Structure 1
Amino acid sequence: MAEKYDLIVLGSGPGGYVAAIRGAQLGLKVAIVERELLGGICLNWGCIPTKALLRSAEILHYAQNAKDYGLKIAGEIEADLDAVVKRSRGVAAQLNKGVTGLMKKNKIAVHMGEGKLTGPTSLTVKGEKGEEKLEAKHVIVATGARARDLPFAKADGERIWTYRHAMTPKEMPKKLLVIGSGAIGIEFASFYNDMGVDVTVVEMLDRIVPVEDKDVSAFLHKSLTKQGITIMTGAGVEDIKADGKGVKAKIKDKDGKVSESEFSHCITAIGIVPNTENIGLEKLAEMEKGFIQIDPYGRTKSKGLWAIGDCTPGPWLAHKASHEGVTAAEAIAQELGNKDVHPHPLDRRNIPGCTYCHPQIASVGLTEEKAKEAGYDVKAGTFPFIGNGKAIALGEAEGFTKTVFDAKTGELLGAHMVGAEVTEMIQGFVVGKALETTEAELMQTVFPHPTISESMHESVLASYGRALHI
């Protein structure tokens, strides 16, 4: 006989496990199905362990440049790759145990194994207990996504890597090719460059981090080039051949010239593929390029079947998945009779994006270009970190904050930042957008001194020709 629940969540990534917890908080009987590790890709192989790697690279960078801060460090500073990776895996393991504890605390049943839908609200799990049959009043699919392979050069873990291989390298690359300049590609390019590797980035579009504001892309391109990274935009990799010695890549540059270059390793960061095949979705959900189509609360076309996270339309970010998980769980509880929850549909305009390269970049809302394309009369202003006392004192005077407003209403349309700690500061603008703030409230907000966050205030002032320190 099948075990019965109010809610079953298929997948335990940052969307899935959060949805399960919120469902349990609302009094639902909840189960979660996971085929590999609780916490999913983000916690075990993505967001968290990569930040641990980047932190090690950041410390190495500061140590190698200690003289800039009036310090002397005796002896040679070098990276211990095995120790760096070990620390990163330790961080992931610690958080995996944390999620396991949260499942127990919230009395969520965990079924480890491969889950497959047999209907909108039923599934089988093949795993450590053999084959189990589960039923629920509602099911949330949160199966995530995986790295997309090049059609002519699939990742082998030896010379051609995805992000997963790049996090646990068997050896330090000597010369690294990174294909793709989105968040994943640029973060690994930055990490390995700081670790002393000769890095080349190839991007087929006309600028790196192409979803960001053009000013941010241009600044980051200049900064990474200054750090020694070779960047080729408007370029494409035509062919790759890997052997025991390395990788040979044919690269067509922006002028159409094809040349062959040799590298020790290659990272492919050209997007993701949703994990939606062979799990019984064929007749249950509307699909587009493999992604499950949902309404703003996570509902699919089948009653009782929901979906969240990277297996649904983008942006494909952990925090978006978590927010969707809470929204779906609350909507389910409401449908089951809970009158105290009032879920709100997801507003994709207010989802921040963060890239943890060196320097960091962060943004929310429309770029200046997109705002103009949308028909807004725009006021935009930029404040450089060189005008910020805290940034200068930290030795981090490279960077800026840019804000974009609707000239007619004063609505904050977007904010774009590059430089030290901007991934922490962007949330100020995210809160502002969620509260539908205008330039008037932001101008009247008191920012603490000395902080880099003062650049946020100054950028608002600059948008209206009132900047004080430039």
Structure 2
Amino acid sequence: MGSTLRKNQAVRQAPGGAPPERRPPAGGAPKLREGRRGAAAGTSRPAVSVRAKQTGDHERTLKEHKEEDNPQRTMEVNGLRPVPASYDYDLIVIGGGSGGLAAAKEAAKYEKKVMVLDFVTPTPQGSSWGLGGTCVNVGCIPKKLMHQAALLGQALQDSRKFGWQFTEEVKHNWMTMTESVQNYIGSLNWGYRVALRDNKVTYENAYGEFVGPHTIKATNKKGIEKLYTAERFIIATGERPRYLGIPGDKEYCLSSDDLFSLPYCPGKTLVVGASYVALECAGFLAGLGLDVTVMVRSILLRGFDQDMANRIGEYMKEHGVNFIREFVPIKVEQVEEGTPGILKVTAKSTAGDQMIEGEYNTVLLAIGRDPCTRKIGLDKVGVNINEKTGKIPVNDEEQTNVSYIYAVGDILQDKLELTPVAIQAGRLLVRRLYAGATTKCDYVNVPTTVFTPLEYGACGYSEETAVEKFGEENIEVYHSHFWPLEWTVPSRDNNKCYAKIICNIQDNERVIGFHVLGPNAGEVTQGFAAAIKCGLTKEQLDNTVGIHPVCAEVFTTLSVTKRSGENTTVSGC
């Protein structure tokens, strides 16, 4: 169906006009190709068409676009399409995740004409989801809810010591949990769509791909293509899970994109990887009573404080999670079909030639994530990416090397991959573009939490990085174990919770690293992060009155240094 859609009736020039190097020649619209002069005659507006074309499914559409030898299309793809004097939109945001939505809604506040393009390519297992991005659909939200489900199981065990009596057998129902979680996520998806509509932001469930200067092609799931122009673009496409590239990985393995909506209990599970995603998923699956094994290539939680990472590993091991260290899968085979079925995994040692085999109901891959940047036409408009990682380098204002294209979120090179960071960066970027603001996103001292069975909150430098940056002689590490009062009556996990701060001796013992292992670590870390932003020192911590009896109190009484070698274990709250 080769219909031509009408242009937006109120096409308008955004404040500031096109970037200087892209401005059309003086005297009006740019000179058009010979074949389009007739169409442009008799109108003062540029002849920029928005076309719709039915070609079938999305993958076929992308293939046809690349193979099509239409000369006019080739000119457009090669950047020869004339830049219009005005655009369909002031801003087009590519990606409907946390960062993209925050930027779009912020721009709408300043009465800008905004479009959001969002398209979820299904996983090899066929999983897909609605508007909201990774965090809402297959990340932070379902992860934290399933972590809570596991914590409730532990609370049930503890409750008997507090006098609760129940005689019926207590067991967990996977389907009840996933249905409840997905219902909540569905309400969030709908809420985001309503919010965009209320803010007069145009939303299309379509795959965005640059085809020329200031021009993007949007392809929906039916293969219908449309071209749109915008003065500026924000890329917020996020990342997707990485696969191993071995026989059977995409055919039989799941990723975190599949797990949270899995329509059956995964049963005996092998988690491949040592990322925070791997350990969080392994932790809550074990907490729900499943047999869980984690296969680790090298170290746990690369990029995090290794002292804390190893303590998490030990805790998980003591609480029923099996670890296979220094092995990687080389083949996954299906032994028996089913929901779940049975899979045979063959793995090879990273330290020798030893091979092992094991059978599992489910294999979950959590070996890292790759940016969704290689198939969105960045080469057509000259945006640089790191060829090895796919990450996009930007300046301190989130601007790429192409002046009218910006990027936020997990796709940025050398920036933190955290939802609140993407939201903050998106909002501040838009305020600079449209409201005359100057505040830039601060990527320093950003707090985060890993929701493993023993939660880990952190802000600032890891111990290893602090030693490397300031020198071991110039830092002081204060630390202590602690025992949450709630855990004393059930008599569990004494001296497993742990707190430490890293101080810069040469800067009045300013706190440059904050780390805590314990319940509600995120809640504890958030408040201290604000203090660290304000330049918190060890003396100020010591002069702060603690709240008794809570876990965070330990940070007001730290007195033992690692350097001293003194004992840090405790016997009570």
Report if TM-score (shorter chain) is over 0.5: yes
Deviation at 1:46? 1.5
1:115 corresponding residue in structure 2 = 208
Deviation at 1:223? 1.0
In structure 2, do the counterparts of structure 1 residues 95 and 7 end up closer, same or farther at CA, with 3 Å as the change threshold? same
2:195 corresponding residue in structure 1 = 102
1:234 corresponding residue in structure 2 = 326
Whether 1:293 and 2:393 are equivalent positions in the alignment is yes
1:280 corresponding residue in structure 2 = 377
In structure 2, do the counterparts of structure 1 residues 396 and 136 end up closer, same or farther at CA, with 3 Å as the change threshold? farther
In structure 2, do the counterparts of structure 1 residues 155 and 106 end up closer, same or farther at CA, with 3 Å as the change threshold? farther
Distance between the aligned counterparts of 1:122 and 1:331, measured in 2? 23
Deviation at 1:390? 6.0
Whether 1:251 and 2:347 are equivalent positions in the alignment is yes
1:267 corresponding residue in structure 2 = 364
In structure 2, do the counterparts of structure 1 residues 375 and 67 end up closer, same or farther at CA, with 3 Å as the change threshold? same
SS at match of 1:61: helix
Deviation at 1:396? 6.9
In structure 2, do the counterparts of structure 1 residues 154 and 109 end up closer, same or farther at CA, with 3 Å as the change threshold? farther
Q: How does 1:274-353 map to 2 (within 5 A)?
A: 274-282=371-379, 283-288=381-386, 289-313=389-413, 314-333=415-434, 338-339=435-436, 341-347=437-443, 349-353=444-448
Whether 1:168 and 2:261 are equivalent positions in the alignment is yes
1:225 corresponding residue in structure 2 = 317
Deviation at 1:192? 1.1
> Which residue, out of 51, 54, 77, partners 2:147?
54
Q: How does 1:364-375 map to 2 (within 5 A)?
A: 364-375=459-470
2:168 corresponding residue in structure 1 = 75
CA deviations on 1:315-336 (whole Å, 9 max, x unpaired) are 3221222122123212322xxx
Deviation at 1:179? 0.6
Deviation at 1:135? 2.1
Deviates more, 1:396-405 or 1:299-308: 396-405
SS at match of 1:201: strand
Deviation at 1:155? 4.4
Distance between the aligned counterparts of 2:110 and 2:544, measured in 1? 36
Whether 1:20 and 2:116 are equivalent positions in the alignment is no
Amino acid at match of 1:443: D
Is the contact between residue 7 and residue 137 of structure 1 (CA under 8 Å) also seen in structure 2?
yes
Deviation at 1:218? 2.2
CA deviations on 1:343-369 (whole Å, 9 max, x unpaired) are 22432x322232112111121211112
Write 1 or 2 for the structure with the bigger share of strand: 1
1:188 corresponding residue in structure 2 = 281
Deviation at 1:375? 2.8
In structure 2, do the counterparts of structure 1 residues 433 and 177 end up closer, same or farther at CA, with 3 Å as the change threshold? same
Of all paired residues, the percent bearing the same amino acid is 23
Distance between the aligned counterparts of 1:444 and 1:120, measured in 2? 58
Distance between the aligned counterparts of 1:458 and 1:7, measured in 2? 51
Whether 1:440 and 2:539 are equivalent positions in the alignment is yes
Is the contact between residue 353 and residue 362 of structure 1 (CA under 8 Å) also seen in structure 2?
yes
Distance between the aligned counterparts of 1:375 and 1:328, measured in 2? 32
CA deviations on 1:104-162 (whole Å, 9 max, x unpaired) are 332222122111123353212223894333222210011111100111045447x4111
1:210 corresponding residue in structure 2 = 302
Count matched residues.
460
In structure 2, do the counterparts of structure 1 residues 355 and 120 end up closer, same or farther at CA, with 3 Å as the change threshold? farther
In structure 2, do the counterparts of structure 1 residues 411 and 154 end up closer, same or farther at CA, with 3 Å as the change threshold? farther
Distance between the aligned counterparts of 1:456 and 1:121, measured in 2? 52
Distance between the aligned counterparts of 1:311 and 1:154, measured in 2? 28
CA deviations on 1:277-309 (whole Å, 9 max, x unpaired) are 221101421111211111122100001100111
Whether 1:137 and 2:231 are equivalent positions in the alignment is yes
Is the contact between residue 403 and residue 463 of structure 1 (CA under 8 Å) also seen in structure 2?
no
Distance between the aligned counterparts of 1:67 and 1:389, measured in 2? 16
In structure 2, do the counterparts of structure 1 residues 120 and 324 end up closer, same or farther at CA, with 3 Å as the change threshold? farther
In structure 2, do the counterparts of structure 1 residues 269 and 209 end up closer, same or farther at CA, with 3 Å as the change threshold? same
Amino acid at match of 1:406: N
SS at match of 1:41: helix
Distance between the aligned counterparts of 2:446 and 2:214, measured in 1? 30
Amino acid at match of 1:17: L
Runs of 5+ consecutive residues of structure 2 not aligned to the other structure:
1-6, 8-49, 51-86, 121-129
In structure 2, do the counterparts of structure 1 residues 389 and 80 end up closer, same or farther at CA, with 3 Å as the change threshold? closer
SS at match of 1:9: strand
In structure 2, do the counterparts of structure 1 residues 264 and 389 end up closer, same or farther at CA, with 3 Å as the change threshold? closer
> Which residue, out of 364, 378, 386, partners 2:475?
378
2:113 corresponding residue in structure 1 = 29
Deviation at 1:242? 2.9
Deviation at 1:250? 2.4
SS at match of 1:310: coil
In structure 2, do the counterparts of structure 1 residues 150 and 12 end up closer, same or farther at CA, with 3 Å as the change threshold? same
1:152 corresponding residue in structure 2 = 246
CA deviations on 1:207-226 (whole Å, 9 max, x unpaired) are 32233222212221121111
Is the contact between residue 120 and residue 302 of structure 1 (CA under 8 Å) also seen in structure 2?
no
Cα-Cα RMSD:
2.6
> Which residue, out of 376, 392, 401, partners 2:499?
401
In structure 2, do the counterparts of structure 1 residues 82 and 216 end up closer, same or farther at CA, with 3 Å as the change threshold? same
Deviation at 1:393? 6.6
Is the contact between residue 391 and residue 452 of structure 1 (CA under 8 Å) also seen in structure 2?
no
Is the contact between residue 481 and residue 569 of structure 2 (CA under 8 Å) also seen in structure 1?
no
Deviation at 1:70? 3.1
In structure 2, do the counterparts of structure 1 residues 156 and 171 end up closer, same or farther at CA, with 3 Å as the change threshold? farther
1:427 corresponding residue in structure 2 = 526
Distance between the aligned counterparts of 1:38 and 1:293, measured in 2? 26
Deviates more, 1:143-152 or 1:165-174: 165-174
Whether 1:11 and 2:11 are equivalent positions in the alignment is no
CA deviations on 1:6-39 (whole Å, 9 max, x unpaired) are 2211111011001112222344332211124221
Is the contact between residue 174 and residue 265 of structure 2 (CA under 8 Å) also seen in structure 1?
yes
Amino acid at match of 1:405: C
Deviation at 1:449? 2.5
In structure 2, do the counterparts of structure 1 residues 76 and 328 end up closer, same or farther at CA, with 3 Å as the change threshold? same
> Which residue, out of 452, 457, 471, partners 1:357?
452
Deviation at 1:440? 2.7
Is the contact between residue 247 and residue 330 of structure 2 (CA under 8 Å) also seen in structure 1?
no
Amino acid at match of 1:251: A
Deviates more, 1:176-185 or 1:54-63: 54-63
CA deviations on 1:26-64 (whole Å, 9 max, x unpaired) are 443322111242211211222112222222222123224
Distance between the aligned counterparts of 2:308 and 2:332, measured in 1? 31
Runs of 5+ consecutive residues of structure 1 not aligned to the other structure:
none
Amino acid at match of 1:179: V
